[in-house]
């Protein structure tokens, strides 16, 4: 009896060791294996989020394919999104700023909360509404941060720079480079993109940019489905930083001498949590 109990004990101990060793151990740059990855990686449809998790087994275990699940969706009509509801329902710019301060961990006692919210946009796709957005949307709701500018640069280069140019001067390679297919020296893209370095664009409020991202304009298409709410504003921060450079001014985490109404330097708000 005693030996049987002993054997059983050794068997259980060895099994436990084997089980724990069979999981990858964390170390170096590896986080190791997760015990229950399904609890971390959502298998639900997500609105406005591209969400690919390579170990998700939905391809074999579900009627939905992984490709189906990972692509972003529109939010269900009439629902209140998680995340930026406070911002969406604010009645004036002061209330908007207060809501953003809570979400970004800038307000006393608040914590930075990553949000995937879809933010309603109350301006229609018309010329009058473009002018109204330009007049009414002034400040960038996110503080200027070094990390945000890096992200903004990445997104700008990818989505906008191909036409508007890496310097924002309207000379992206699609416009600038000759088109070998047609022998056209003027480039593949026929329409002239806006030159953000012109005074009219440097002096324009943020609404003009946000509206263009939401709907495009004439030959330019919308980027609303490519960029999240936060990403759109990061791109706009980055464009502002290019404009500041051209005027010999600063638009950064520590100072904004371009126009204080466009964006508040993040360092002056002393964030409690790092922004990401």
Q: Which residues bind ligand HEC (CB under 6 A)?
A: 130, 159-160, 162-164, 189, 191, 193-194, 208-209, 212-213, 217-220, 223, 235
- Closest CB to ligand HEC among residues 213, 258: 213
Structure tokens that stand for 31 in this block = 């986080």
Distance in Å from the first CA to the final CA of the chain: 60
Task: Name the minimum Å distance from CB 245 to ligand HEC.
Answer: 17
- Closest CB to ligand HEC among residues 164, 240: 164
Please tell me what DSSP assigns to residue 194.
Answer: P
Structure tokens that stand for 54 in this block = 């390579």
- Closest CB to ligand HEC among residues 117, 152: 152
Task: Name the minimum Å distance from CB 238 to ligand HEC.
Answer: 9
- Closest CB to ligand HEC among residues 202, 269: 202
Count other Cβ atoms within 10 Å, centred on residue 110.
Answer: 14
CA 55/CA 49 separation, integer angstroms:
18
Q: Are 206 and 140 in contact (CB under 8 A)?
A: yes
Task: Name the minimum Å distance from CB 211 to ligand HEC.
Answer: 7
Measuring CA to CA, how many Å separate 69 from each of 59, 63, 146?
10, 11, 33
Task: Name the minimum Å distance from CB 271 to ligand HEC.
Answer: 25
Task: Name the minimum Å distance from CB 229 to ligand HEC.
Answer: 13
Please tell me what DSSP assigns to residue 39.
Answer: G
- Closest CB to ligand HEC among residues 66, 211: 211
Task: Name the minimum Å distance from CB 254 to ligand HEC.
Answer: 24
Structure tokens that stand for 44 in this block = 């639900």
Task: Name the minimum Å distance from CB 132 to ligand HEC.
Answer: 12
Q: Are 30 and 24 in contact (CB under 8 A)?
A: yes
Helices (H), 165-267: 173-176, 199-202, 206-215, 229-246
Question: In 3D, which of 203, 215, 45, 220 has the Cα closest to residue 129?
Answer: 215
CA 41/CA 104 separation, integer angstroms:
23
- Closest CB to ligand HEC among residues 13, 191: 191
- Closest CB to ligand HEC among residues 176, 245: 176
């Amino acid at each position: 009896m005693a030996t049987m109990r002993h054997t059983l004990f050794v068997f259980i101990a060895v099994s436990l060791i084997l089980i724990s060793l069979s999981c990858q151990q964390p170390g170096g740059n590896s986080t190791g294996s997760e015990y229950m990855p399904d609890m971390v990686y959502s298998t639900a449809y997500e609105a406005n989020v591209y969400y690919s998790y390579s170990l998700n087994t939905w391809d074999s275990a579900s009627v939905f394919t992984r490709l189906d699940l990972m692509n972003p969706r529109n939010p269900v009509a009439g629902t209140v999104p998680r995340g930026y509801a406070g911002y969406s329902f604010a009645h004036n710019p002061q209330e908007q700023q207060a809501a953003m301060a809570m979400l970004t961990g800038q307000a006393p006692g608040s914590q930075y909360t990553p949000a995937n919210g879809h933010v309603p946009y109350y301006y229609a796709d018309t010329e009058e509404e473009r002018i109204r957005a330009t007049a009414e949307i002034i400040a960038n709701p996110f503080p200027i941060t070094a990390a945000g500018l890096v992200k903004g640069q990445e997104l700008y280069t990818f989505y906008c720079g191909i036409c508007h140019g890496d310097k924002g001067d309207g000379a992206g390679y699609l416009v600038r480079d000759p088109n070998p297919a047609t022998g056209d020296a003027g480039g593949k893209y026929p329409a002239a993109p806006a030159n953000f370095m012109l005074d009219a664009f440097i002096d324009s409020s943020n609404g003009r940019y946000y509206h263009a991202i939401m709907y495009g304009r004439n030959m330019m298409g919308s980027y609303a489905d490519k960029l999240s709410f936060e990403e759109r504003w990061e791109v706009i921060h980055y464009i502002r930083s290019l404009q500041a450079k051209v005027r010999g001014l600063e638009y950064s985490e520590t100072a904004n001498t371009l126009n204080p109404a466009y964006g508040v330097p993040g360092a002056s708000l002393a964030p409690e949590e790092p922004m990401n």
